[in-house]
């Protein structure tokens, strides 16, 4: 079933999400505050390089399923589901959630006068607890509605630079952190074309899964580099052969 989707933020995660969801049949409008970025997308030009992104962007612009705008209010008013995919930069003081907060405030303002059931999905990487606290509170304050009257989910991304399109279209799993069952089902309808395990859980669990996944991958890379270093100094050892044997251990799954 085709859905109308708004995606706030056209960075690496936002634009990849928008292009891929358009490619499976949804009508997507990407929103950004930078006019030059929006103009490039409208011309079918990817504002950054990612394999297959430019080709898919051109195709979906031509199909009419993908558009871009600076007008958040119009895009959200026309959408069944709105994704928050703005940046959450890190600093010495911690993660910066100001863009997430502002996006939630603006979306809530639109929801105040919107008819029908709408859902809001956090796609940005955020500290566990953010969706159920900061995002929910901002949406409720600016919309005058309570969560449940509108849908609320956290849907983390697991994309790798250099293979983001393939990762999105052929996912290992899709995590749906739902405020309530209705919220989760609204989001799940978007992912019907994807054949993979779909995990329904709480927003905080979904947020923690993203952090845990990042931490595990970083740990594995460090571990493999150490093993590779040992193999280089140990005669007659090959790191590829060693890891092949290690990976067959059922306790690692």
Determine the pLDDT at residue 51. 94
Determine the pLDDT at residue 65. 97
Segment-wise mean pLDDT, segments of 10 residues, the chain, 253 residues: 95 96 97 96 92 95 96 97 94 88 98 96 96 98 97 96 94 97 97 96 98 93 94 94 91 79
CA dihedral sign of residues 18, 22, 23, 24: positive
Determine the pLDDT at residue 91. 77
Determine the pLDDT at residue 93. 79
Determine the pLDDT at residue 229. 94
Pair of tokens at residue 57: 């962007």
Determine the pLDDT at residue 251. 87
Determine the pLDDT at residue 252. 80
Dump the DSSP string for 173-233.
-EEEEESSHHHHHHHHHHTTT--S-EEEE-HHHHHHHHHHHHHHHHHHHHHHHHHHHHHHH
Determine the pLDDT at residue 112. 96
Residue-wise pLDDT for 35-93, tens only, equals 999 999 999 999 999 999 999 999 999 999 999 999 999 999 999 999 999 999 887 77
Determine the pLDDT at residue 216. 93
Query: Are 79 and 5 contacting, i.e. CB atoms less than 8 angstroms apart?
Result: yes
Instruction: Produce one character per residue of 218-247: b if its CB has 16 or more CB atoms within 10 Å, e if not.
Output: eeeeeeeeeeeeebeeeeeeebeebeeeee
Determine the pLDDT at residue 92. 75
Q: Could you tell me how many residues make up the chain?
A: 253
pTM above 0.85, yes or no: yes
Determine the pLDDT at residue 86. 97
């Amino acid at each position: 079933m085709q859905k109308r989707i708004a995606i706030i933020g056209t960075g690496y995660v936002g634009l990849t999400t928008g292009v891929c969801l358009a490619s499976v049949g949804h009508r997507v409008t990407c929103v950004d505050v930078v006019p030059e970025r929006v103009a490039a997308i409208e011309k079918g030009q990817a504002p950054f390089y990612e394999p297959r992104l430019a080709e898919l962007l051109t195709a979906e612009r031509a199909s009419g399923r993908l558009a871009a705008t600076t007008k958040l209010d119009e895009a959200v008013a026309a959408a069944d589901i709105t994704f928050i995919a703005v940046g959450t930069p890190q600093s010495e003081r911690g993660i910066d959630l100001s863009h997430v907060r502002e996006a939630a405030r603006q979306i809530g303002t639109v929801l105040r006068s919107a008819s029908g059931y709408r859902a809001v999905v956090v796609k940005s990487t955020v500290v566990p607890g953010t969706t159920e606290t900061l995002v929910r509170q901002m949406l409720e304050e600016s919309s005058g509605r309570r969560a449940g009257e509108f849908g609320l989910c956290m849907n983390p991304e697991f994309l790798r630079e250099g293979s983001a399109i393939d990762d999105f279209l052929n996912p290992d799993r899709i995590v749906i952190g739902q405020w309530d069952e209705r919220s989760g089902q609204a989001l799940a309808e978007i992912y019907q074309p994807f054949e993979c395990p779909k995990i329904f859980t709480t927003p905080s669990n979904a947020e923690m899964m993203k952090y845990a996944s990042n931490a595990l991958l970083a740990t594995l890379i460090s571990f493999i580099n150490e093993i590779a270093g040992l193999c280089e100094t140990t005669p007659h050892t090959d790191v590829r052969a060693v890891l092949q044997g290690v990976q067959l251990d059922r306790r690692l799954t």
